[in-house]
Copies of this chain bind each other. A is one copy, B any other.
Amino acid sequence: MLKFTHSLVIKGRHFTGYCTNMKRTVFFISDRTGITAELLGQSLTAQFEDHVEFTYHTIPFVDDEDKALAAVARINQTAVRDGVPPLVFETIVRPEIREIILKSEAILLDFFHTYIGPLEKELGVRSSFSVGKSHSTDDLQAYDTRMSAVNFALNNDDGATTKQYDQADIILVGPSRCGKTPTSLYLAMQFGIFAANYPFTDEDLPNIKLKDGLAKNRHKLYGLSIDPMRLHEIRTGRRPDSKYSSFQQCMFETREVEALYRREKLPFINTTSRSVEELAVKIMNDTGIERRIF
């Protein structure tokens, strides 16, 4: 908790505040989804959250003057209410829309125009300033790859059949509820990777042997494990007071799968404190699997 006198002049307006518990409103503004502004903006505000309590709002699809003016009105109302200017992280492409947002009573952090000038200079060509230009989403082939990968992940999610494993880029193995399904789906959705997943269940234990479908595709296997206490928590949320969720069973399963990974020299990762994004990228990085879409 911090005490300081805040004093700042922004576009002729004087804001002062003597803060013991700092709060700030943050807007993410975009002419598209706002997802990029959110990701980068949050990684920045996260650096200050020991001292400042942020409230977030996203205003997506600000792609004409009326929507820009409405956004400015909302920002200015917030500035008056808060007594401090909101932070605005924006990725607006069209200069005339951005001009309008610039006039708001905000601290504006521009994630797009900041770099366009230097890039034009370096590349020696002018920006096309086209909204929604991005590589994969506008490309039907990339769209199809992504959909095929999502379908592949869904069709190969439970280990019931291993007959499509020859088409897999990777096969995630591990105990139930250690993160295989979301990681396969993320690999499919974000990178177009064909990821199957296979759960080791009671019938595989103890002394797991790789079944035919898995043994044949040994080079594609990647193991997931998890701290038994965390697994116990997750499974308890699903089936409380069962053998399945008992700490003892979770200990047993994680020990057995890790013994398998070591015995078979399979690459593996502990999922406990990792996000799905991080797992997906680590797995690609470890195995050298190439993304099918950028």
Interface residues, chain A, with chain B CB atoms under 8 Å away: 2, 4, 6, 8, 22, 24, 32-36, 38-40, 42-52, 56, 60-61, 87, 91, 93, 107, 109, 111-112, 114-116, 118-120, 122-125, 127-130, 133-138, 143-144, 146-147, 150-151, 154, 157, 181-182, 185-186, 189-190, 234, 237, 273, 275-278, 280-282, 285, 294
Contact = CB atoms under 8 A, between A and B. Distances in A.
Given A2-B124, A36-B36, A42-B134, 9 more contacts: A22-B123, A22-B125, A46-B134, A60-B285, A109-B115, A144-B237, A154-B181, A185-B185, A189-B189
B8 A122 contact: yes
Contact of A281 (B35, B48, B87, B150): B35
B36 A40 contact: yes
Contact of A146 (B39, B52, B234, B276): B276
A55 B138 CA distance: 18
Contact of A124 (B4, B185, B285): B4
A23 to B, nearest CB: 11
Contacts of A294: 38, 42, 56
Contacts of A185: 150, 185, 189
Contacts of A107: 118, 122
Nearest to A6: B124
Integer count of this chain's copies in the complex: 2
Given A146-B182, A181-B154, A189-B189, A278 B32 contact: yes
B150 A44 contact: no
Contacts of A147: 182, 234
A114 B114 contact: yes
